[in-house]
């Protein structure tokens, strides 16, 4: 399945940054990379979530396991960059715990560029709501702007969960209802909270600034 940027609501600035940092290199490999054939371009996505690539400081048997895993990953990445493989391989990784990533992974030649994905702003949250409105039966009188203004600090997953909970609330209100109404969103907005805390958001910004 191929998913384009149009399937992501809002975040226009981030999309432009990703396009400039990643897609340009893949589309024009003859300019941005060694003379490998463009048809050989490959993208390797890796999740740095969890404890597989955390800092190796500290004692205990768990630290030794983490060290071996990290060493293996570093060796493989060095092989991609400095090896004789004729394929153009781009390694992309994502994490929600950047402070736990070992410094060795952040050195030039491994992960060269850090792109901060912030919580969606007002405009992006509106775009997300409109995107969900294409797949869900929103009432035509739904005041999306009012709903969005009550979602400050929500992540994209939080917006999705809000819409799903509103759909459940609609069925609970009236099993015969065919539209998700404003009252349904108002009821779930009263109960739901953002999964992101202000301290988390601040920590992400600080990490991104330090790594620039």
SS3 letters across the chain: CCCCHHHCCCCHHHHHHHHHHHHHHHHCHHHHCCCCCHHHCEEEEEECCCCCCECCCCCCHHHHHHHHHHHHHHHHHHHHHHCCCCCCEEEEEECCCHHHECHHHHCCCCCCCCCCCCCCCHHHHHHHHHHHHCCCCECCCCCHHHHHHCCCCCCHHHHHHHHHHHHHHHHHHCCCCCCECHHHHHHHHHHCCCCCCHHHHHHHHHHHHHCC
Comparing CA positions, the residue from 41, 16, 17 lying closest to residue 27 is 41
Task: Pick the last residue of a domain from 99, 118, 137.
Answer: 118
Q: Are residues 15 and 99 in the same domain?
A: yes
pTM metric for this prediction:
0.70
Q: Are residues 71 and 138 in the same domain?
A: no
Please tell me which residue, 165 or 14, carries the higher pLDDT value: 165
Quote the domain boundaries for residue 39: 5-118
| Predicted confidence (pLDDT) per residue in 133-172, tens digit | 999 999 999 999 999 999 999 999 999 999 999 999 999 9
Give the residues across from 92 on adjacent strands. 45
- Give me the phi and psi of 44, to 5 degrees please: -110, 115
Is 70 exceeded by the pLDDT of residue 100?
yes
Comparing CA positions, the residue from 45, 8, 14 lying closest to residue 157 is 8
pLDDT of residue 51: 47
Q: Are residues 27 and 82 in the same domain?
A: yes
pLDDT of residue 131: 92
Q: Does residue 210 lie within any of the structural domains?
A: no
| Predicted confidence (pLDDT) per residue in 166-210, tens digit | 999 999 999 999 999 999 999 999 999 999 888 888 888 888 887
Q: Does residue 86 lie within any of the structural domains?
A: yes
| Predicted confidence (pLDDT) per residue in 33-91, tens digit | 554 444 455 556 656 654 455 555 555 555 676 677 777 777 777 666 555 555 567 77
Q: Does residue 183 lie within any of the structural domains?
A: yes
* Count of domains observed in the chain: 2
Is 70 exceeded by the pLDDT of residue 12?
yes
Rounded Cα distance, 81 and 99, in Å: 24
Q: Are residues 73 and 172 in the same domain?
A: no
| Cα 206 from chain centroid (whole Å) | 17
Rounded Cα distance, 209 and 212, in Å: 5
| Predicted confidence (pLDDT) per residue in 161-175, tens digit | 999 999 999 999 999
Residue 77 belongs to a domain with what CATH number?
Answer: 3.40.50.300
Q: Are residues 135 and 92 in the same domain?
A: no
End-to-end CA gap in the chain: 33
Q: Does residue 78 lie within any of the structural domains?
A: yes
Rounded Cα distance, 152 and 35, in Å: 46
């Amino acid at each position: 399945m191929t998913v384009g940027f149009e399937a992501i609501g809002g975040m226009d600035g981030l999309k432009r940054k990703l396009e400039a940092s990643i897609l340009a290199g893949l589309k024009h490999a003859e300019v941005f990379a060694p003379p490998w054939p463009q048809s050989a371009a490959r993208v390797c996505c890796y999740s740095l979530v969890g404890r597989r690539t955390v800092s190796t400081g500290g004692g205990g048997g768990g630290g030794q396991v983490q060290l071996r895993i990290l060493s293996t990953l570093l060796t493989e990445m060095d092989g991609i960059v400095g090896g004789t493989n004729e394929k153009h391989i781009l390694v992309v990784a994502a994490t929600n715990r950047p402070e736990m990533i070992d410094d060795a992974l952040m050195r030039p030649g491994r992960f060269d560029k850090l792109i901060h994905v912030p919580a969606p702003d007002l405009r992006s949250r509106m775009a997300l709501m409109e995107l969900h409105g294409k797949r869900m039966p929103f009432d035509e009188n739904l005041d999306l702007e009012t709903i969005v203004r009550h979602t400050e600090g929500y992540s994209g997953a939080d917006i999705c969960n809000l819409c799903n909970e509103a759909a459940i609330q609609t069925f609970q209100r009236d099993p015969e209802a065919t539209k998700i109404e404003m009252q349904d969103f108002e009821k779930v907005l009263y109960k739901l909270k953002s999964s992101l805390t202000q301290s988390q958001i601040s920590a992400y910004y600080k990490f991104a600034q330090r790594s620039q």
